[in-house]
Amino acid sequence: MSQQTPLPGSIETLDALVIGAGFHGLYQLYRLRERGFRVRVLEAGGDLGGIWWWNCYPGARVDSHVPNYEYSLETLWRDWHWSERFPGWDELRRYFHHVDAKLDLSRDVRLNTRVTAARFDPASDHWLVETQGGGRLRTRFLIPCTGFAAKAYVPDFPGLDTFEGDCHHTAHWPQAGVPLAGRRVGVIGTGASGVQVIQEAAKEAAQVTVFQRTPMLALPMRQRRYTITEQLAMKRDYPEQFERRRTTQSSYCDIVADPRSALEVSDAERRQRFDDAWQKGGFHFWAGTFSDVLMSLEANRLAYDYWRDQTRARIHDPSVADILAPMEPPHPFGAKRPSLEQGYYECFNQPNVALVDLRADPIKTVTATGVQTAAAHHDLDVLVLATGFDASTGGLTAIDLRGRSGRSLKQAWADGVKTHLGMAIPDFPNLLMLYGPQSPTAFCNGPTCAELQGDWVVECLEHLRQHGVTRLEATGEAADVWGRHIDEIEARTLLGQADSWYMGANIPGKRRQLLYHPGVQEYLAMCRDSAARGYAGFTLSAAGASA
C-alpha cells in the first residue's frame, strides 16, 4: 500500500484529488480511474475504511442491515459473506480489504496523509493542495469525501485535562484497544456510540457510570449471525434488492413506510404494523411504519407511546425508566436518529451500571480521579467521551480551504452553510463534495449514497472533460434557492423540533438543518435535472476565462 508523500518541490498534477478513503472516496477512485482520469486519494487514517478505521471502540457496528451497507457491484458481493446481520467495525475493515483486493485501489491511496490546506488558483483553474507532511499536489478537481464524522466533538468540560485515568473519544479509540474488564468506566453521552459502548462495558467492567443528557430512543437491533448457506441463499435476491435501495425513500431495500397516515387506520391495524416493525428490528420501526410519523405530532405521539411502553417494560426501577424512557417524549420520536441496541435497557437492571441524569445533576468538573457532578463524585479508571461530532461541516472547515476570492470556507460559512445541491459551494469552483451538508447524507445509507451521488459527480466530470470546460462553479443564487428549499422541507417535518446533530444543535451557534430529508430519489431527480439543463445553477467556463 502506497504511503509516501511527494517530495517537497515536485508537484504531482492530477485530474481529481479525493480526500478520504471511506465508501465515497474509494468509489470515486474506482469510477474516475475507470474513465481514465488521473486520480489519487489522500487519507488521514492508517487504513482504508473511513470511519471504520477510526471508530474501533467496543461494540462499534453499523445500524444498516445486510445487504444495505455494502457496494452493489457484483464483483464485490458475489464472494463476500457477512457473518452478522449488523456487522461490526472489524468485519467492515476486512470488507474494505476485500474491496481493495478486488478493485486494486490502494496503489492510488496515500494513507496517514492529512490534507491541511487547499487554494483555488483562478489563473490555471487548479487547486493547490497541501498535506500535513509538507506534500503538495495540483489538481483540476477537488473531491472532499470527508464524511460527516471527521471531526470529533468534546464539550468544554472543566478539568478534563486533569483526569489521570484513560480518557478517549469514541472516534479516537486507540487501535490497540483499552481494557475495560474489572475497571470503573464512565461514559459521557448516550448517542449511537454511547449506547454501543455501554452495552459492551456493562458485560465486563466492575462499574459503568452512564452520564445522560438526553434519553436515546433506541430500537431493538435484533442482531443475528448468518451462515454461509444463508448468505448464499440471500444473494439470489441481491440484484433486485440493490435496485430497490436506490428507489425507496429510506434508501434501504426493505424498509418502506405505509403511505397512509398513522391516524387514518384502525387501532388494531396500527398496532399490527407497529408490532411487525418492532419484531423486524433495526430501522423498521423508525422508517417503516407510517408515512406521517416524522410529519405529524399526533402520529408521532402514537409511535412514541408504543416505543415507551415496550421499553419501560424492560426496565425494573420505575425511577430509572423515567430517565431512560420518560412518560412524555423528550422530543418527537425519530427526529433524532435512533440507535440500535442489544440489551441496552437491561444493562440498567444490573448492579454494576448506574445512571446519572445530567439534566438534574450536571457535570461540574472532571477531576484527576473521576467526574464531579452537582450531587456526587464518581470515581473512574476510564472515561469514555461518546460526545459525538461537529457533524457534516466540521471535517471540511478543519481544512484551510480557500476559494477563488481567497476567502476561507470557514468565513464563507460563518453565517451558515451555503451549497448548491449539497455538493458545490459558490466561490469554490471545481470542488464537489460527497455526503456533505445539505444533501441526503445520513438520511441515505452510506454505500447507496456513495454510488448514487458518486455517479452524478463522475458524469459531471466526464461532461466537463468532453466539453473542454475547466471551471465549474455554483452560483450564489442557486445556493440561496437550495438553502431555502432545505429550510422549507424542514418546516414540513418534525426534524427541527429536536436538538439533534442533524440540526448541528450539539455545536454551540451552529443550529440549522444540515440534511436533505425527502429521500435520495427526489434529490437525484433535482441533480439530474440540473445536469440535463447544462448544469443549471453552475457557471461553466474554459481555462483562465472569467465565469
**Binding residues for ligand FAD (CB under 6 A):** 19-25, 42-45, 50-51, 53, 55, 60, 62-64, 69, 114-115, 145-150, 193, 395, 399, 435, 445-446
CA 508 from chain centre, in angstroms, equals 20
Choice between 114 and 260, CB closer to ligand FAD: 114
Choice between 145 and 299, CB closer to ligand FAD: 145
Choice between 435 and 482, CB closer to ligand FAD: 435
SS3 347: helix
What is the number of H-type helices and E-type strands within the chain?
17, 19
> Long-range contacts made by residues 152-157, C-beta under 8 angstroms, separation at least 24?
152/385, 152/387, 152/388, 152/389, 152/390, 153/387, 153/388, 153/389, 153/390, 153/394, 153/506, 153/507, 154/385, 154/387, 155/387, 157/188, 157/363, 157/365, 157/366
Cα–Cα distance measured from residue 441 to residue 453, given in angstroms and rounded to the nearest whole number: 10
Choice between 4 and 466, CB closer to ligand FAD: 4
Cβ of residue 145: shortest distance to ligand FAD, in angstroms? 5
Angle at 234 between CA 232 and CA 239, to 5 degrees: 105
Cβ of residue 65: shortest distance to ligand FAD, in angstroms? 9
Cβ of residue 196: shortest distance to ligand FAD, in angstroms? 7
Cα–Cα distance measured from residue 360 to residue 375, given in angstroms and rounded to the nearest whole number: 9
Compute φ and ψ for 235, nearest 5 degrees: -65, -15
Cβ of residue 484: shortest distance to ligand FAD, in angstroms? 26
DSSP structure string for 83-96: SBSS-BHHHHHHHH
Cα–Cα distance measured from residue 386 to residue 170, given in angstroms and rounded to the nearest whole number: 6
CA dihedral 504, 506, 509, 515 (to 10 degrees): 0
Cβ of residue 318: shortest distance to ligand FAD, in angstroms? 32
Cβ of residue 55: shortest distance to ligand FAD, in angstroms? 4
Q: Read off the amino acid at residue 322.
A: D
Choice between 371 and 507, CB closer to ligand FAD: 507
Choice between 93 and 511, CB closer to ligand FAD: 93
CA distances from 14 to 11, 108, 129, 133, 433 (A): 10, 12, 11, 19, 17
Cβ of residue 89: shortest distance to ligand FAD, in angstroms? 8
Q: Read off the amino acid at residue 109.
A: V
Choice between 69 and 71, CB closer to ligand FAD: 69
Choice between 333 and 435, CB closer to ligand FAD: 435
Cβ of residue 398: shortest distance to ligand FAD, in angstroms? 6
